[in-house]
Structure 1
């Protein structure tokens, strides 16, 4: 099994679930966590409050929301649920609404699920995988897609990797922060997508990536050359003394490639 499917079982996948709005969509994903013994109902309500307080930043790609909140004692073990909705619902995101897939994440700490999110980022970066997941007719079929290797090339950014490599930073190491409300979910997802691009460019030794939350990001900004985040979190951060770059689709290596080029003017 992959790191992703270690945290997601067949019973944690529900397809074509009927909901009325974004809150009931999050509750549906949270109920699966409860049913699987991963978290309690208190965690589900905390996921909803997270969106109410921080905005729909959890909608990290077109049609896809990663529901989560900070680890606390309502999390019984690290795990995930996968809920594909019968009809899309609006979360209020500027570009990625409406949402049809809600993946809920509950983590006992900020490290236990990093490999799973890295695997998920790679799966959703491939258009063939996304289409297969949208068309899957059973939970077993969803798991088969998630266990497979991505089949696409990751977008047109790859054809420009050589010129980017030639322009690698002269410093021995620089840091980029990826930021979300809690530092355990969407920021890690974006970190993994950014690292895919840096690997492709050959910049992984020169540029490190750290996922963090909004409060910590303000203190760590002086250590970094830029912050990558969502529109909602960018507004929350305000002026932190370094460029804050907005990424709308956290699964798109093409968009992240363009943002990175803009950051380094390459």
Structure 2
């Protein structure tokens, strides 16, 4: 159950919008043999956002948002082999909901020859939920993973540029980067798992036909994707007593 309200306002060249939302979620799961335990949890959260967008040759976008996410049934109650990853996954019924503050900044510029976009974000998440490997632990012969949480900080952005000297020819480049760390952790365990590596994509395309008829949007393209080395990964997660208690 939830309720929300939004409001919009225009001041000169700026469009301003804001919203406020309240959610309440009740989760009840039934016991299934030795696989799933009975769980009853209630979560509630107040979130909102405020943002502004300018109109002009250079468009500016600013936004501040408060986020809220409740743990899923899988994160709370998993206890078995995940067939897609061949990992033995264990849930954690004591997980708290995630709360976050996110700041976004965007810059857009478009001309006859060039289109560019820059998007930057900073996300600070309390009780961030993630899945990590229990070092040296195997269950039924499988590597064992368990959901846990910690305070996280994610910084990143994306830059794209499209150079089109003529209308039918486009040189498109996009670069994206994310740095995701867990607060108050040593170097070997501070980087969050599954963080994507820096990536650069490139495409050169030429449109032969663009007449709105049968063969509309006929084009040829050459593209490339380059994923750079990811040196920021979780090398080791410190074992915690509650992990072993839940496991055994």
Q: Indicate the TM-score class for this superposition, using the shorter chain for normalisation.
A: under 0.3
User: Larger helix proportion, structure 1 or 2?
Assistant: 1
Higher RCO (CA 8 Å, separation ≥ 6 residues): 1
Whose Rg is larger? 2
Would you tell me which structure has more strand in proportion to its own residues? 2
TM-score when normalising by structure 1: 0.21
